[in-house]
Amino acid sequence: MPLASILEKHREGIIRDWAERLHTTVSERYRARPIEELHGTVSGANDASFAVLVYNDYSLIDAHIEWITGLRLKGDFNLSEVQHAYELYRTVVLPIFLTELTPTELSFALPRLNHCLFYTITRFSNYFQSVHEKQIREYAHDLEREVEKRTGELSDSEAKYRMLVEEINDGYFVSQNGRIVFANRAFCDMHGYSADDVMDRPFTDFVADESLPNVLRFYNGRISGRNTQSLYTYYRLNKDGRNWPTENKVQVITFQGERAVAGVCRDITERIEMERRIRESERFAHIGQLTTSLAHELRNPLAAIKINVQILSKNLRLDGNDQKRGEIIAKEISRLERILTEMLDSAKPLRLTIEPVSINDVIDSCLDILFEKIQERRIGVWKRRARHLPVLLLDRDKMEQAVINILLNSIEALAEEGRISILTRSSFRHNNDVLLDIHDSGPGISEADLPYIFDPFFSSKKKGTGLGLYNAKKIVEAHGGRVSVKSTIGKGTHFRITFPIRDET
């Protein structure tokens, strides 16, 4: 079905779902807005995005950005809140694309969706920032004129100015002779310090080592007048030692009769992460296309080889080592077929058949399927399953596949007579979500490998495809759940799957 028809067909559902998510999941400020207002703003954003996706027409989205910027600045919204609101469009329409579009249509639609959101959020961020800064400049200018006009009321004017700076969401600071002489509350919060700890400290204390040479070069050039650039990015240094990407816009000013640098700091962690996710989505879409083509090209010849090997084994009546070689060939062909199946599973979009399911029943079914492997390695399985767990809305077959992939990872990591512990329970800290913990007594995963174990094609095993855990994570997240892992060398690996509780409606 053409993209335009799909978006028109689901228009009302998209607007309703988007508005509900905006009202309930983004922030307290959005939760305080009337739902009717959110329906109106979302309706405009949806129609503008439709024009970009279908007709490559950006005029509506540009107009919507200008309108929503004024509305949200008036409501004291910050930049990240509205960025999140636009990003929800992907969350709403992506399941529709996965259900309605063929793989070929999906490979066309996903890049357009990513580009649409990248353009929208980048354009909005730049426009929001420029309007925000213009308001600050205009207000500061008004204050300056007021100070000149009312010299006798200098203390009152200074109090108003400080109130303005303290109320903005971005960090504002003044650096003079290399030291911080003024900082607002947001600047202190961004760096994890109190106001007393910040004052009179070298500004270099708040810059990560990797960014320090560039920041010093920029600062010295700005003070001397050699550098007229005002905007740069760097990594700020938090009190706890962590580094965070930051955007800084500075201006040379006169402060208490001497030259100084005033700057506005903005945390851009979410923007950097969003750009990374967009690049990753585009890369996975390309890998999926290549994987699907390759798997289809190999599957038919492989099936022909398997059939002919089976026929030859029967007709030639092989025995001894020759029979063993034939069995090895058949076994390796079956392994290649499993690899191709995993590759296809990783590339194709998930289509879920949701039904009420007991997670304890899923675990029993998975252990029955893996019984022979567990017995062969003499692995001990310890189960502790909570009674009266809420029934979950799951695709049973796909969830069994995800749990089996995680259990296989543990089984293959264990030496003989190892141990696997399986625990189910409710999480009272997180809306009674259902937790499934799988812990093995294996050798553990190295700290260097741990961040990548869910990446496609990453594997430390000699015969691993690197798709088992990737597919497991993909299935869990398609259900709205989360999967995490902790591991210690020599002490084993602990996987946790978190299932959200959802109404059938």
3-class secondary structure, 51: helix
> Would you place residue 406 in the very low, low, confident or very high pLDDT band (cuts 50, 70, 90)?
very high
Position of tokens 């200008």?
A: 66
Q: What whole-number distance in Å separates Cα of residue 196 and Cα of residue 188? A: 9
Between 326 and 470, residue with greater pLDDT: 470
pLDDT band for position 14 (50/70/90)?
A: very high
- Can you tell me the distance from the alpha carbon of 94 to that of 89, in angstroms, rounded to the nearest whole number? 8
Gap between the terminal Cα atoms of the chain: 26
Instruction: Give the mean model confidence (pLDDT) for residues 160-184.
Output: 78
Residue 434 bridge partners (DSSP): 426, 499
**DSSP-derived secondary structure letter, 501:** -
Instruction: Give the pLDDT band (50/70/90) at residue 228.
Output: confident
* Contact call for residues 469 and 450 (beta carbons, < 8 A): no
The mean of the pLDDT values for the chain is 83
Q: How many residues does the chain have?
A: 505
Q: Mean pLDDT, to the nearest integer, of 130-145?
A: 79
Per-residue pLDDT tens for 274-315? 877 777 666 655 655 666 666 666 666 777 777 777 777 667
Select from 279, 278, 232 the least CA-distant residue to 251. 232
Q: How confident is the model at residue 157 (pLDDT cuts 50, 70, 90)?
A: low
Phi-psi region of 217 (alpha: psi -120 to 50; beta: other; left: phi over 0): alpha
pLDDT for the residue 72: 84
pLDDT tier at 15, thresholds 50, 70, 90: very high
Of 78-92, 267-281, 317-331, the poorest mean pLDDT is in: 317-331
Instruction: Classify 102 as helix, strand or coil.
Output: coil
Angstrom distance (rounded) from CA 465 to CA 487? 21
Q: How far is it, in rounded angstroms, from Cα 422 to Cα 438? A: 5
- Check residue 505 and give its pLDDT: 40
Looking at the chain, the whole-number percentage of residues with pLDDT higher than 70 is: 83
Decide: helix, strand or coil at residue 181. strand
Tell me the C-alpha distance between 234 and 243, whole Å. Answer: 10
Whole-angstrom distance, CA of residue 358 vs CA of residue 393: 9
> Which residue's entry shows tokens 């002490």?
491
pLDDT, residue 258, reads 86
- Over residues 411-431, the mean pLDDT reads 83
Distance CA 126, CA 6 (A): 31
What does residue 246 show for φ and ψ, rounded to 5 degrees? -140, 145
In this structure, what token pair is assigned to residue 504?
Answer: 């059938």
Range 422-450 average pLDDT:
86
376 has a pLDDT exceeding 60: yes
